[in-house]
């Protein structure tokens, strides 16, 4: 059997597991599988260490977390969260001149800041304050099982489908590079479970709203188009507020449920602390297809065809 055939067999066996789990959920009573509207958004921005440029080869440890909670029904900002973070690696604790000038963060801000683990706990406490309006309650959300652990278990978590809130970031770097792949990995801790699953990249949301399909939309470009004044860019809390204002305006053009355009891989060690799962490419391909919103009848034919085409190109 060729390597390609083995990969194909592995994928088809995974599809069978997904289909079984999906069908079980679609057999639930209508009232138990109703998908609520997204009412709230957690808009996040991070600042990270950098030596000579925002995307250089420095450690990129998180040094500031800014989050804004917005209410889409009331069209306003409910609350904000902000903390500096002391890097774990000692070499990263002394900020470069470029980093200080780029972010406006002072060395003394970092020297007295909590560790990354402590900062996450502060974030957990802040998010938990809104258990009464968020579904499901963030404080009750547990880490999902891997596909392998779930098997035919009907309790395979699909809470990301039913939540009434979403995480929003400007681009993919904050969640996937600075937060998870760097600081979470360095500190050997997973992302908080309420962050896992689908989230919104505001750049892609903007592209969909204005049909301006380009590789990258800067914050300045988006704010200019939406008539949003910019204040103190490159500070996490100020950028998070801008992301929140952008999201409130874009939601009126393209609903966020339609714009869940990015995905935190629940099986990735950096994201959820899970190890020893399936082939990277197959896992990534499967999870990028949000099968939870696809009718069972069309999922199998549509997705098997698309992924097998991708695999044949890599053959």
Examine the domain organization and report whether 210 and 92 are in the same domain: yes
How much is the pLDDT for 288?
Answer: 39
- Report the number of distinct structural domains present in the chain: 2
Residue 275's pLDDT is what?
Answer: 33
- Cα–Cα distances in Å, from 216 out to 100, 213, 222? 25, 9, 10
* Same domain assignment for residues 250 and 313: no
* pLDDT tops 60 at residue 242: yes
Domain membership of residue 239 (yes or no) is yes
Q: What is the pLDDT of residue 5?
A: 57
pLDDT digits (tens, 9 = 90+) for 12-39: 444 444 433 333 333 334 444 455 688 9
Residues 62 and 211 grouped into a single domain: yes
303, 213: one domain: no
The runs of H, that is alpha helices, within the chain are 3-26, 97-103, 107-111, 116-128, 147-150, 159-162, 173, 185-186, 202-210, 219-225, 236-251, 269-272, 280-288, 296-314
* Within a domain: 292: no
pLDDT digits (tens, 9 = 90+) for 121-150: 999 999 999 999 998 888 887 765 554 554
Q: Are residues 27 and 106 in the same domain?
A: no
pLDDT tens per residue across span 188-227: 887 888 887 778 888 888 888 887 766 678 888 899 899 9
Range of the domain at 13: 1-34+298-315
């Amino acid at each position: 059997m060729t390597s390609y055939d083995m990969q194909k067999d592995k994928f088809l066996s995974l599809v069978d597991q997904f289909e079984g789990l999906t069908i079980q959920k679609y057999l639930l009573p209508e009232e138990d599988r109703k998908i609520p509207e997204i009412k709230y958004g957690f808009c996040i921005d991070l600042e990270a260490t950098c030596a000579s440029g925002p995307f250089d080869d420095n450690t990129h440890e998180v040094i500031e977390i800014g989050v804004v909670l917005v209410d889409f029904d009331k069209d306003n900002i409910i609350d904000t969260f902000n903390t500096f973070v002391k890097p774990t690696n000692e070499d990263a604790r002394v900020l470069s001149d470029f980093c200080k000038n780029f972010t406006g963060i002072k060395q003394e801000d970092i020297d007295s800041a909590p560790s990354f683990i402590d900062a996450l706990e502060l974030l957990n406490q802040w998010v938990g304050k809104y258990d009464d309006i968020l579904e499901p309650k963030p404080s009750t959300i547990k880490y999902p099982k891997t596909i392998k652990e779930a098997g035919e278990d009907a309790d395979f978590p699909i809470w990301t489908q039913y939540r009434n809130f979403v995480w929003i970031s400007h681009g993919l770097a904050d969640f996937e590079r600075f937060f998870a792949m760097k600081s979470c990995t360095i500190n050997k801790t997973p992302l908080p479970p309420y962050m896992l699953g689908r989230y919104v990249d505001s750049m892609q949301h903007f592209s969909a709203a204005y049909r301006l399909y380009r590789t990258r939309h800067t914050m300045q470009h988006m704010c200019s188009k939406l008539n949003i004044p910019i204040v103190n860019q490159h500070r996490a809390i100020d950028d998070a507020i801008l992301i929140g204002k952008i999201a409130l305006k874009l939601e009126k053009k393209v609903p966020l449920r339609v714009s869940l355009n990015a995905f935190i891989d629940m099986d990735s060690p950096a994201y959820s602390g899970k190890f020893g799962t399936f082939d990277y490419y197959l896992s990534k391909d499967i999870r990028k297809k949000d099968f939870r919103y696809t009718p069972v009848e069309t999922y199998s034919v549509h997705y098997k065809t698309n992924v097998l085409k991708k695999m044949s190109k890599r053959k």
